[in-house]
C-alpha cells in the first residue's frame, strides 16, 4: 500500500518537467492525480511550451501505476478556469488532499530593456497563477479540515539575478503568499510550504535565451554545462526534477505535519556560496 493511498493530488504545469515528475511519484505511492497545463504558446516565452500530447503522456504515466488521472488543458492566469478544474476534480474524485502549484515560465531581459508584456506575462503566470490555483482549492480544504499545499518558488525567490528581475519578483512574491496562507490556515489541518530549487534540468532552461542569461557564450548545451555550475557550491550545472520530488514527497506526507510556512532550499548550496563569496 502506497504512502498516499486514498489521496487525490492536483498538480498545475504537469505536462512535462517538474510537474510530470511530481505526478509520477505521487501516483507511484498510490495517489489519484488531477493535472493541468496551458498547452499553448505565450509570446514572450523564448522556448516551446508543453503540448496537449505532453499532457496526455503524463496522464498515461500516472495510469500505468494503476491510478486514476484527470488531465485538463487550463491556464493558471484565468481564475475561472482553475475554479472549474477544482470543481470538476472534487466532483470526480470527491476531494483534493494535495495541491502542487507548479506552473511557471521563464524568460530573460535586463529590467531597463524589459517590455511591459514580458513583465505582465511573468507576473500573471508565476505569481497571480499561483494565487488563482490556491484560491480555487483552499476553500475545499478548509471545509474538510485537511490539506497539503506546495508552491514551487526558486532560489531566485530568495535573492536577485541579472536579467531575472521579473522572475525574481514573482518568486519572492510566492514566499509571502505561502507564509500568509500558512498563518491563516494553521488551525485548519492545512500546511503550506514553498520549495526553492536551483536550476532544474527541464525544457524551461534548455534554450538559447536562458543559456545566454547564465553566461553560456555561445549559447550551446556544451557551454551551458560549463557556465551553469558557477552559482552552485556543489559543482553541478543543475539538479534533476526527481530531487525536487524527493523533498516534495516528504513535505506532503503526514511525517511533515508540523512543517508549514517555510521556504525549503534545494539549491546545491548556491545561496550559501553567494554569501561566502561576498564576505570571503
CATH homologous superfamily of 8-202+240-268:
NAD(P)-binding Rossmann-like Domain (3.40.50.720)
CB neighbourhood size of 14 (10 A): 31
| Pair 263, 192: CB distance under 8 Å | no
Q: How confident is the model at residue 275 (pLDDT cuts 50, 70, 90)?
A: low
**Among 222, 226, 147, which Cα is nearest to 186's?**
147
Domain ranges within the chain, ordered by starting residue = 8-202+240-268
Which residues belong to the active site? Answer: 167
Q: What is the pLDDT of residues 187-232, one digit of tens each?
A: 999 999 999 999 999 999 898 888 988 888 898 999 888 888 778 8
Q: Which residues contact 21 (CB under 8 A, 6 or more apart)?
A: 241, 242, 244, 245
Q: Residue by residue, what is the 3-state secondary structure of 169-188?
A: HHHHHHHHHHHHHHHHHCCC
**Lowest-confidence pick of 60-74, 169-183, 206-220:** 206-220
pLDDT one-digit tens code per residue, 15-27? 999 999 999 999 9
Task: Give the position of cell 507511484.
Answer: 28
DSSP 2-21: -TTTT-EEEEES-SSHHHHH
Amino acid at each position: 500500500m502506497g504512502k498516499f493511498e486514498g489521496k487525490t493530488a492536483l498538480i498545475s504545469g504537469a505536462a512535462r518537467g517538474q510537474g510530470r515528475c511530481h505526478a509520477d511519484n505521487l501516483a507511484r505511492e498510490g495517489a489519484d492525480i488531477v493535472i493541468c497545463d496551458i498547452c499553448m504558446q505565450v509570446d514572450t516565452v523564448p522556448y516551446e511550451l508543453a503540448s496537449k500530447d505532453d499532457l496526455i503522456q503524463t496522464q498515461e504515466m500516472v495510469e500505468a501505476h494503476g491510478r486514476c488521472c484527470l488531465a485538463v488543458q487550463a491556464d493558471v492566469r484565468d481564475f475561472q478556469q482553475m475554479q472549474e478544474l477544482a470543481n470538476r476534480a472534487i466532483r470526480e474524485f470527491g476531494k483534493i488532499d494535495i495541491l502542487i502549484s507548479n506552473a511557471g515560465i521563464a524568460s530573460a531581459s535586463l529590467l531597463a530593456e524589459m517590455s511591459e508584456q514580458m513583465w505582465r506575462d511573468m507576473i500573471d503566470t508565476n505569481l497571480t497563477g499561483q494565487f488563482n490555483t490556491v484560491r480555487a482549492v483552499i476553500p475545499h480544504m478548509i471545509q474538510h479540515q485537511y490539506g497539503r499545499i506546495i508552491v514551487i518558488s526558486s532560489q531566485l525567490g530568495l535573492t536577485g539575478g541579472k536579467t531575472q528581475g521579473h522572475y525574481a519578483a514573482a518568486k519572492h512574491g510566492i514566499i509571502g503568499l505561502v507564509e500568509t496562507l500558512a498563518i491563516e490556515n494553521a488551525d485548519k489541518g492545512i500546511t503550506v510550504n514553498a520549495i526553492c530549487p536551483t536550476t532544474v534540468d527541464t525544457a524551461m532552461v534548455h534554450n538559447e535565451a536562458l543559456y545566454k542569461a547564465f553566461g553560456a557564450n555561445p549559447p550551446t548545451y556544451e557551454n551551458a554545462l560549463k557556465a551553469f555550475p558557477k552559482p552552485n557550491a556543489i559543482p553541478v550545472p543543475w539538479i534533476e526534477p526527481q530531487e525536487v520530488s524527493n523533498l516534495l514527497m516528504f513535505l506532503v506526507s503526514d511525517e511533515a505535519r508540523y512543517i508549514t510556512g517555510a521556504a525549503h532550499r534545494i539549491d546545491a548550496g548556491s545561496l550559501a556560496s553567494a554569501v561566502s563569496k561576498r564576505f570571503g
